[in-house]
Amino acid sequence: MRLVIRSDAGTVADYIAEYIKQRIIQFEPTPEKPFVIGLPTGSSPVGVYKRLVQLCTDGSLSFKNVVTFNMDEYVGLPRDHPESYHSFMWNHLFKHIDIPPENVNILNGNADDLQAECERYEAKIQSYGGIELFLGGIGPDGHIAFNEPGSSLQSRTRVKTLAYETIIANARFFGGDVSKVPKLALTVGVGTVMDAREVVVIITGANKAIALAKCIEEGVNHMWTVSAIQTHPRSLVVCDDDATLELHVKTVRYFKSIEQVQDEMIGRENLGLYGQVAGPLRYTAIPSGN
């Protein structure tokens, strides 16, 4: 796992948007071989989407050959309801970019057979050969998508009952009326996310600090579902200074030192996107001593 620490939410969003842009460009997607990305909703990704829109508007990034799978959707909420995740994605991303509508996938929370809808979704992901990069946010309790504490780390796309606290917290989006808040959601599972070839998690703000510490400094644990990324072969967490408040100084220093070595001693030009060595090193060889 890599941990990249930036000063604030804005620079975190800059980093991730640029990262996604480079990943898509280096992937060289085509209609036959699209770049398949998993996408979250919520407050964490808003800044990232804003920057991706800007990159698309200025012509430096295209979504023509990108296929998206969203993480989750409420059950029973009309698609055009302003709080639906369809509306969220439409307003924050899809209406501003050049993605073909048929490349967009979001779980249908109004399907007659919700279980069948979940199975269809997993099958559709498989039909593309899986997800290349899954972008995620994280809740204060360490959840990813609607996989709240206690969710199986092997879980697949399924119907979930929302935690009482989530329903209360969401009431503010429904005119303060708890009775209007959906009680069920469809969500990809932790296993669905971890099957992606790469997982990138955005973690910003002091209210996520405990979750970040639990997820990366303690053991893999279903009470902090994002901790599952510890076993993922290619995962990246991008956080801001505020989110590091509960981390050990040692942890923060370690990950900052990695970037420092890469920047000052190896040189960015020698490294690929994942920090891997990209070709023969061009920095001055260490003197053998005399």
Q: CB of 57: closest distance to other proteins in angstroms?
A: 8
Q: Which of 141, 195, 198, 240 is catalytic?
A: 141
How far apart are the C-alpha atoms of 46 and 249, rounded to whole Å?
29
Of 126 and 207, which has the nearer Cβ to other proteins?
Answer: 126
Residues forming beta bridges with residue 200, ordered by sequence position: 135, 236
Of residues 31 and 175, the one with the C-beta less far from other proteins: 31
From the CB of 197, what's the least distance to other proteins, in Å? Answer: 14
- DSSP structural state of residue 82: T
Distance of CA 2 to the CA centre of its chain: 14
Tell me the closest approach of the beta carbon of residue 182 to other proteins, in angstroms. 17
Q: Under a CB-based contact definition with an 8 Å cutoff, are residues 32 and 70 in contact?
A: no
Sign of CA dihedral 202, 204, 207, 213: positive
Query: Which residues of this protein are in contact with other proteins, per CB under 8 A?
Result: 31-34, 36, 67, 79-80, 86-87, 90, 94-95, 98, 100-102, 104, 108, 110-111, 117, 120, 123-124, 127-129
80 vs 264, beta carbon nearer other proteins: 80
| Residue 259 annotated as catalytic | no
Give me the residues paired with residue 36 across strands.
Answer: 67
Please indicate whether residue 148 is annotated as part of the active site.
yes
β-pair partners for 67: 36
| Choice between 39 and 144, CB closer to other proteins | 39
Specify whether 143 is catalytic.
yes
> Which residue out of 73, 117, 132, 143 is catalytically annotated?
143
Do residues 31 and 68 lie in contact, with contact meaning Cβ atoms separated by under 8 Å? no
Q: Which of 73, 117, 148, 240 is catalytic?
A: 148
Task: Identify which of residues 108 and 152 has a Cβ nearer to other proteins in the complex.
Answer: 108
CB of 23 to other proteins, least distance (A): 17
Q: Which candidate, 77, 92, 260, places its Cα nearest to that of 184?
A: 77
248 catalytic residue (yes or no): no
CA–CA distances in Å: residue 131 to residues 33, 122, 166: 12, 11, 28
Question: Closest distance between other proteins and the C-beta of residue 78, in Å?
Answer: 11
Helices (H), the chain: 9-27, 46-57, 85-92, 114-127, 164-170, 190-194, 209-217, 249-260
Positions annotated as catalytic residues are 72, 141, 143, 148
